Amino acid sequence: MLTNDTMRKLNELKLFGMARGFDNQLSSAAAAHLAFEERLGLLVDQEVTYRENRRLKRLLQVAKLRESACMEDIDYRAGRGLDRSEMASLGQCNWVRHGINMIITGATGGGKTWLGCALGNQACRQGLTVTFQRLPLLLEELAISHGDGSFCKRLSALAKVDLLILDDFGIAVLNAVGRNDLLEVIEQRTGNRSTLITSQLPVDRWHDYLSGGNPTMADAILDRLVSGAHRMELKGESMRRLRGRSASLGT
């Protein structure tokens, strides 16, 4: 009776991890030989783990990462241009906490989006908020938001997220409205929040892409995106082609 009452109170207090751990201890012969302090410590650990897992699940759901990627699965094969020590440092996510931008460039199929999602996943693990957006679709949504009056609200939401991943930069033609909206998004985040860009275009071609007859606008966007940003250029053979080849060989 006392046990049932304790379980009920733990659940009412939303200590679901402790409740589950308490139930496990009741059915474990080994737990009966532990000291009170040890059993209590295990319950606290289980509650912490439960809450951390729930938080991670919530952050990943909100992030909507395009790829199910993580740092542990990064392919460091020769020729890709990835350094283990560099990635280990980036995995600590201090660049996100300090509002430093990240630029990942490379040819089609090189794994830019996958790597961006792996870094986003790592940020979520550390309790940071992440949002993944394909830039062409985001700019379409922002253009529509001008008409329904939700632009400022959408802009504010994008400004608050710790890491904004903008995928496929340079893949679609920018019009004047798109350039202005992109500048507004970047301007709201500069110096406070990190933006990760993936692009097939080398950075030295970004000015032409962003200009559209307005070099001043291109200068403004580039200054905010590129200045002080950490850059990675992925090289080597297409990862999609390599995965397809491995699958055909049954490896």
**Are the beta carbons of 201 and 42 closer than 8 angstroms?**
no
Residues 70 and 58 in one domain: no
Mean per-residue pLDDT for 136-148? 95
Q: What is the pLDDT of residues 28-52, one digit of tens each?
A: 877 777 787 888 888 888 888 878 8
Confidence of residue 184 (pLDDT cuts 50, 70, 90): very high
Mean residue pLDDT across the chain: 88
Q: Indicate if 119 and 186 belong to the same structural domain.
A: yes
Which among 213, 120, 137 is positioned nearest to 181, based on CA atoms?
A: 137
pTM (whole model) above 0.75: yes
Residues 51 and 76 in one domain: no
Same domain for 9 and 50, yes or no, is yes
Residues 84 and 74: their CA atoms lie apart, in Å, by 9
Boundary (domain end) residue, out of 62, 89, 111: 62
Q: Are residues 82 and 161 in the same domain?
A: yes
Residue 245 maps to a domain = no
Query: Which region among 179-188, 194-203, 235-244 has the lowest average model confidence (pLDDT)?
Result: 235-244
Reported as a single tens digit per residue, the pLDDT across 64-93 is 999 999 999 999 887 788 889 999 999 999
Does 20 share its domain with 78? no
Q: How confident is the model at residue 247 (pLDDT cuts 50, 70, 90)?
A: very low
With beta carbons less than 8 A apart as the criterion, state whether 163 and 128 touch: yes
In a domain, 249, yes or no: no
CA angle 225, 228, 233 (to 5 degrees): 75
Q: How many structural domains is the chain composed of?
A: 2
> In the prediction, which pLDDT does 11 show?
80
Please check whether residues 8 and 89 belong to one and the same domain: no
**Containing domain of residue 87, as a range?**
66-236
User: Is 79 inside any structural domain?
Assistant: yes
- Flag whether 25 is in a domain: yes
Quick check: 243 pLDDT over 80? no
**Token pair 């409740």 in the structure block, residue:** 19
> What torsion, rounded to 10 degrees, do the Cα atoms 203, 171, 157, 162 define?
-40
Same domain, 30 and 98: no
Residue ending a domain, choose from 19, 46, 62: 62
Percent of the chain with pLDDT over 90: 63
Look at residue 152 and tell me if it is in a domain.
Answer: yes
Q: Which of 29, 62, 95 is the last residue of a domain?
A: 62
pLDDT (0 to 100) of residue 126: 94
Please state, for a pLDDT cut of 70, what percent of the chain lies above it. Answer: 93
Residues 58 and 118 both lie in one domain: no
Q: Do 172 and 226 belong to one domain? A: yes
The pLDDT of residue 191 = 87
